[in-house]
Amino acid sequence: MVTQWERDASAVDSDHEYGTADGLKMLGLIVNPIAGMGGRVGLKGTDGPDVLDEARRRGARPVSSERALQALKRLAASTTPFRLMTGAGELGEDVARAAGLDPIVVYRPAAGSRGPDDTRKVALALAQASVDLLLFAGGDGTARDVLGAIDERVPMLGIPTGVKMYSAVFGTNPESAGNLAVRVIAGEPSVRFREAEVMDIDEAAMRNDQVSTQLYGYARSPHERHLVQNAKAGSGPGENLALDAACRQIVREMQPGCLYILGPGTTTRRVMTALGLPATLLGVDAVLDGALLGSDLDERALLRLMVGREARIVVGVLGGHGSLFGRGNQQISAEVIRQVGRDRITVVTSMDKLLSLETGCLRVDTGDTGVDAMLAGYLRVHTGPDRAVYFRVRS
């Protein structure tokens, strides 16, 4: 029987023999070069060529290789030797060499080829090479493509570089993914593997302000509670009254002449409801003196509105993840946060959601280490009317 991998043999580099005769662990790498480009420009993803073209028209730039490099630098510093296999060029080879690694290329795409099919073909080649861990840089769409192409026994770990990252296969940030990969390669006995959810949200529905999340399967994935995220979780019905009251109080305390930037989600939508304004459920809105100044804004629009004004940010917590910034709200970029300042960020969520966080902390992954460090520490979180707790924030 001819396998899919054998049918794709013309695309696979045949200059190398694969195997573990030398005893080295084998790490596979896939980089989705377009993952995450839609985030700051407010497109909520980059699934499909038309959306990618629109992202470029809006001035989006690639971010995936830059974030993958942060993870690979941790691997390059490892004292445990290993063999790295990847796709040619921007599929992994380029960033691996930039990190000082010497990869084996197992797949070369056809001229002009770029898309999910390349991700799947690299994953097939890496699975056939029996890698000990498949490390990929992308978002939920990339996770789906990888999962659909590999044997369920091949462990996979995501470097978070996408817009949608609801799945439980991702590191909390690129450095965490790199550190966990180092532990896997070193064979540390403390590393455990779990069946992690691979989820994705319908981007077309998102752009129409509808949430449609689907579980696509489970992947075998390394787990360490402070290095990987959990899947997105919803809110319980008993939280509604306290959140409504907390959001009404936030509205009562809004300052005249101050620009309020409201992040996506059902919690911040309660603030907009209290203001009597329509909300973009999965986008970022701006309010000034009780009036809607802009809806579904991208990073550039937010920065324009902030010129000459004091600004504040109001955000909720992404359940399961415990994420404040960096998951689904990349429009509120590191530069926006830097200009607003830590003391002018209002966080509102339920106490139940905080107590359910496995890591016992909130997470930030803005892509800027300086801003992440600024946000780290203890931050006041509103959980009800005249009720708040100080909760730890980590990058």
Tens of pLDDT, residues 141-189 = 899 999 999 988 899 999 998 877 888 999 999 999 999 999 999 999 9
Compare 278 and 225 and report the one with higher pLDDT. 278
pLDDT value at residue 340? 98
pLDDT value at residue 36? 66
Give the three-state DSSP class for 348: strand
> Is 123 exposed, middle or buried (CB count within 10 Å of its CB: 0-12, 13-18, 19+)?
buried
Calpha distance 254→243 (Å, rounded): 17
pLDDT value at residue 215? 85
pLDDT cut 90: percent of the chain above it: 62
pLDDT value at residue 52? 60
Spatial contact of 33 and 62, defined as CB atoms under 8 Å apart: yes
pLDDT value at residue 233? 59
Residue 74 has pLDDT above 70, yes or no: yes
Please report, for the chain, the start and end positions of each structural domain, with discontinuous segments joined by +.
4-223, 237-394
Residue 58 has pLDDT above 80, yes or no: no
pLDDT value at residue 11? 46
pLDDT value at residue 200? 82
pLDDT value at residue 2? 33
Residue 13 has pLDDT above 70, yes or no: no
Which tens digit of pLDDT belongs to each residue from 133-142?
Answer: 999 999 998 9
Compare 23 and 106 and report the one with higher pLDDT. 106
Task: Over range 298-304, report the average pLDDT.
Answer: 95
Per mean pLDDT, which range of 87-96, 257-266, 275-284, 339-348 is the poorest? 275-284
pLDDT value at residue 14? 41
Compare 48 and 356 and report the one with higher pLDDT. 356
Query: Over the chain, what is the mean pLDDT?
Result: 86
Which range among 42-51, 238-247, 292-301, 312-321 has the greatest average pLDDT? Answer: 292-301
Question: Which pTM does this prediction carry?
Answer: 0.76
> Is 373 exposed, middle or buried (CB count within 10 Å of its CB: 0-12, 13-18, 19+)?
exposed
pLDDT cut 70: percent of the chain above it: 82
Q: Which of 220, 166, 187 is nearest to 81 (CA)?
A: 187
